[in-house]
Amino acid sequence: MAAVKGPAFDADTVLADPERRIVVCCGSGGVGKTTTAAAMAVRAAEQGRRVVVLTIDPARRLAQALGLEELDNTPRPVEGIDTSAGGSLEAMMLDMKRTFDEVVEAHSSPEKAAQILANPFYIAVSSSFAGTQEYMAMEKLGQLHEQMVQGARDWDLIIVDTPPSRSALDFLDAPQRLGSFLDGRFIRLMTAPAKVGGRASLKVFSAGVGLANTVMSRLLGGDFLRDVQTFIAATDTMFGGFRQRADATYALLARPETAFVVVAAPERDALREAGYFIDRLASDRMPPAGMVVNRLHVTRARKISADRAEEGAEHLEAKGDHDLAAAVLRVHAELAGTAARQRSVLARFRTSHPGVPLATVPAQPVDVHDIQGLRDVGAALHG
């Protein structure tokens, strides 16, 4: 079995540092970011930090693990944690559309906000546009940080579970992608007639997008372009604000008060994705505080290799009177083989990223579903 050597990641070092105000758990989808974020939140709160944890996981696993009926865009106190050290914990789940609505309401007059919120094109963009969830996660992080700095909330640590994207890079790229959309050629062309007005502008518009108008009208209905123009005319003064807020939150991520924790599974594709993200963070001068590898298989009888267990099972089966022992050996052989493969993949990752502090969390027999399960994961993150 390949040895895994390198610096160890101790989550307590990050969580106990009063200068750390934001911890971002990031990685590709399905690697345990939500569980990691919740476990770190519970551990930090029980060590005396006043924590709010933000999840973007629509499966609501965080609410279940924290013993809450549901989570929404409003922070809710979590009961059942040890507050003897003076800490506290609140949890919330990003409501993408509601967050977008809050941005509109905060930067528009009541009349204009009502016009925008009722616009069909806005409803489509705010609900399903590619990158909107990641952008709104950034937006919500900025809002929470502002509330913390201004003293509107009694928090001293924000932990963020990033969206379950195919690529971890989506979280960093979403603000630029949405900004490019708002500043792009399509939007400028659609904006032109609304800004200029009159028959002349309509003639220019018709010449420029006549073909697109015909195609999109067939696909999306005759009112589509009118909805887009109305939306753009109503939100034109907000576009700069979108980009400014995205830039401000992105700058916040680069400050020393923010720590990135990259989460991965002990599989080749997940570790490759994690490596890309670590390299991106380094190039953006946001080096990760550490990395967590979830669901690492371990075996108690480490001296019995998978091949040796298979040979033993075959020998017992040949004798014909030790079926249970043979079955146990075959189970061990499967687990030992998985563990060896995972350790080998992890060792190769270590070779390519030798300086990244790393912690491993053993695979659990059942899904984490309560506070004690989160404590157990947190203990593993302490090393």
- 27-47 pLDDT, tens per residue? 888 899 989 999 999 999 999
Instruction: Report the alpha-carbon distance of residue 44 to residue 98 in Å, rounded.
Output: 28
pLDDT (tens digit per residue) in 151-160: 999 999 999 9
What does the pLDDT average to over 94-114?
A: 87
What does the pLDDT average to over 325-342?
A: 74
Instruction: Report the alpha-carbon distance of residue 377 to residue 364 in Å, rounded.
Output: 9
Token digits for 143?
């809002």
Q: Encode 200-243 in three state secondary structure.
A: HHHHHHHHHHHHHHHHHHHHHCCCHHHHHHHHHHHHHHHHHHHH
In a domain, 228, yes or no: yes
Token digits for 251?
């700058």
Exposure on the CB side of residue 347, measured as CA atoms within 13 A: 10
Report pLDDT for 178.
Answer: 62
Phi-psi region of 86 (alpha: psi -120 to 50; beta: other; left: phi over 0): left
Report pLDDT for 183.
Answer: 57
Instruction: Report the alpha-carbon distance of residue 118 to residue 162 in Å, rounded.
Output: 29
Instruction: Indicate the average pLDDT of the chain.
Output: 81
**Contact indicator for 257, 193 with CB cutoff of 8 Å:** no
- The identity of residue 21, as a single letter, is R
Residue with tokens 């106190």: 77
Q: Is the pLDDT of residue 213 over 60?
A: no
Beta strands in the chain (DSSP E): 22-26, 50-55, 76-77, 88-93, 157-161, 258-264, 290-296, 358-362
Phi, psi of 217 (to 5 degrees): -65, -40
Instruction: Report the alpha-carbon distance of residue 251 to residue 196 in Å, rounded.
Output: 36
In a domain, 333, yes or no: no
Report pLDDT for 2.
Answer: 46
Instruction: Report the alpha-carbon distance of residue 236 to residue 112 in Å, rounded.
Output: 11
Per-residue burial over 231-247, b = 16 or more CB atoms within 10 Å of its CB, e = otherwise: bbbbbeebeeebbebbe
In a domain, 137, yes or no: yes
Exposure on the CB side of residue 360, measured as CA atoms within 13 A: 19
In a domain, 318, yes or no: no
Report pLDDT for 1.
Answer: 41
Range of the domain at 277: 11-301+338-381
In a domain, 332, yes or no: no
- Helices 268-283 and 323-352 meet at what angle, rounded to 10? 20
Q: Is the dihedral of CA 379, 148, 87, 47 positive or negative?
A: positive
Q: Is the pLDDT of residue 353 over 50?
A: yes
Band (pLDDT 50/70/90 cuts) for residue 383 is low
Band (pLDDT 50/70/90 cuts) for residue 214 is low
Q: Is the pLDDT of residue 205 over 50?
A: no
Looking at residue 264, the DSSP 8-state letter turns out to be E
In a domain, 325, yes or no: no
Instruction: Report the alpha-carbon distance of residue 23 to residue 380 in Å, rounded.
Output: 18
Instruction: Report the alpha-carbon distance of residue 189 to residue 239 in Å, rounded.
Output: 15
What does the pLDDT average to over 334-338?
A: 75
Instruction: Report the alpha-carbon distance of residue 179 to residue 245 in Å, rounded.
Output: 11
Report pLDDT for 82.
Answer: 96
- Higher pLDDT: 188 or 174? It is 174
For residue 64, which of 365, 370, 367, 366 has the smallest C-alpha distance? 370
The CATH number covering residue 184 comes to 3.40.50.300
Report pLDDT for 228.
Answer: 73
In a domain, 30, yes or no: yes
**Contact indicator for 127, 97 with CB cutoff of 8 Å:** yes
**Contact indicator for 291, 31 with CB cutoff of 8 Å:** no
For residue 79, which of 49, 48, 45 has the smallest C-alpha distance? 45
pLDDT (tens digit per residue) in 3-32: 557 899 999 999 999 999 999 999 888 899
Token digits for 241?
């604000």
- Helices 169-183 and 185-196 meet at what angle, rounded to 10? 30
Report pLDDT for 381.
Answer: 94
Phi-psi region of 255 (alpha: psi -120 to 50; beta: other; left: phi over 0): beta
Phi, psi of 291 (to 5 degrees): -135, 140
pLDDT (tens digit per residue) in 227-283: 776 777 666 666 666 677 778 888 899 999 999 999 999 999 999 999 999 999 999
Token digits for 11?
């989550």
How many structural domains are present in the chain?
1
Report pLDDT for 15.
Answer: 97
Report pLDDT for 180.
Answer: 61
- Higher pLDDT: 211 or 277? It is 277
Burial class (CB in 10 A: 0-12, 13-18, 19+), 173: middle
Other C-beta atoms closer than 10 Å to the C-beta of 352 total: 12
